[in-house]
A and B are shown apart, each in its own frame.
Chain A
């Protein structure tokens, strides 16, 4: 998997897998080269990421380039007390916490 977030997609990138919306409709096939109008269509149909050829690394964590691991750790540290009654090992809570950390970091950097 080399998912790239919608915001980081650009014309010229090549799809490594079909782009399918949540209703199962295929929007664009594997091997297609992205054009500007495709990005517009993805946005309209609620696609948030696409599998792109030649992109390294696992999972799109939608990280802005200028965010450091240190900032992430700090944000996580400051949020943890709010989660003390939850099971942060649970996949749902762990995902919500991850998103909350990203949100906090982005908010600060803006």
Chain B
């Protein structure tokens, strides 16, 4: 029997859930009368999260001169929406920590995704986008669909991985051929169930087909390009992973000079290492 996206997500939901606190955090942020201290208190309840957020806030990712030693200060300097988005990335990464290494190497998986997140953020910075953290989150979670499928339909994933290896093809094409849908759609379905905003979930859904993004084509194009760059930097799930083809329309939409690619890569490089070290520490 061929599984459906719904059955896969339902199966995963029983195993992984987004920490309850994310809902409460959103509630606090959206409530007109809550103060920074209120929001800070919700985050501080999760000690592991607090530690990682503070480490990120003090890493080269932000490059502040003075030390950020409290969540309230981080909220002031980085911004509530941005810190919420970072908290989301850290929480989702944490909720998938139990997946066995048997099918895919989790370390490579997160390195690739973090690289994609940082590169998306660098591209957004270059393009002077507002709220760059959502680019980081979308990039960092763009492949969660693969993890969901590893949990729900491990045998199908094993088959797809094998076919990819034998024919030297593209993973998402093999997925499409054997299941009729890919990890973008699966990741999107899970995030929708978790009520993650569309500006994060749609680019994830469309990272291999940026032309199909209806509301956030620019975000989708950014993740699409960042995914390709991270593969060319050697941050792939396996050493023989094929670089996905570039969508011309997405590239044109981004309007980045070709000679900026080197700068974007250079700027991202150290941030990728630092961020990966901070985020994988506690796992």
Whether the Cβ atoms of B228 and A96 lie closer than 8 Å is yes
Contact A85:B243 (CB < 8 A) given known A46-B267, A96-B261, A97-B232: yes
Q: How far is the CB of A78 from chain B (nearest CB, A)?
A: 11
Q: How far is the CA of A48 from the CA of B248 in the complex (A)?
A: 27
Given A48-B266, A90-B246, does the pair A95, B126 have CB atoms closer than 8 Å? no
**Set of chain A residues within 8 Å of B231, measured between Cβ atoms:** 82
Contact (Cβ within 8 A) B242 A84? yes
CB-based nearest A residue for B244: A85
Q: Are B245 and A87 in contact (CB under 8 A)?
A: yes
- Inter-chain CA distance A100–B234, complex, in Å, is 8
Q: Is the CB of B243 within 8 A of A95?
A: no
Interface string of A1-43 (1 = CB under 8 A from B): 0000000000000000000001000000000000000000000
CB pair B262–A81 under 8 Å, yes or no, is no
The complex places the Cα of A104 from the Cα of B263 at a distance, in Å, of: 17
Interface presence of A93 (CB below 8 A)? yes
Q: Is A68 an interface residue (CB 8 A)?
A: no
**CB-contacts of A82-110 with B (<8 A):** 82-87, 90-93, 95-97, 99-100, 103-104
Contacts of B241 in A (CB 8 A): 82
Total contacting residues, chain A, CB less than 8 A: 22
Cβ contacts B139-182/A at 8 Å (1 or 0 each): 00000000000000000000000000000111000000000000
Q: On chain B, which size bracket covers the interface?
A: 20 to 34
Q: B265 in the interface, Cβ–Cβ < 8 Å? A: yes
Q: Do B261 and A92 touch across chains, with their CB atoms under 8 A apart?
A: yes
Assess whether B240 is interfacial by the CB under 8 Å rule.
Answer: yes
Within 8 A of B (CB), among A47-70: 48, 62
Chain B residues with CB under 8 Å of A46's CB are 263, 267
Identify which of B168, B169, B244, B258 contacts A91 (C-beta below 8 A). B258
**Interface flags, B263-276, vs A, CB<8A=1, else 0:** 10111000000000
For B263, give its contact among A48, A83, A86, A90 (CB under 8 Å).
A48
Which A residues lie within 8 Å of B83 (CB)?
none
Contact with A along B233-261 (1 / 0, CB 8 A): 11000001111111010010000001111
Can you offer 21 A-B residue contacts whose CB atoms are under 8 A?
A22-B126, A22-B263, A46-B263, A48-B263, A48-B266, A82-B231, A82-B241, A82-B243, A83-B243, A84-B168, A85-B244, A86-B228, A86-B244, A86-B245, A90-B246, A92-B251, A95-B262, A96-B228, A97-B232, A100-B232, A100-B234
9 other A-B residue contacts (CB within 8 Å) besides A85-B170, A93-B246, A103-B234:
A22-B263, A62-B262, A82-B243, A85-B169, A86-B228, A86-B246, A87-B246, A92-B251, A93-B243
Closest 8 CB pairs of A and B: A96-B232, A100-B232, A86-B245, A91-B258, A95-B258, A85-B242, A83-B243, A85-B245
Write the residues of chain A forming the contact surface with B, with a CB cutoff of 8 angstroms. 22, 46, 48, 62, 81-87, 90-93, 95-97, 99-100, 103-104
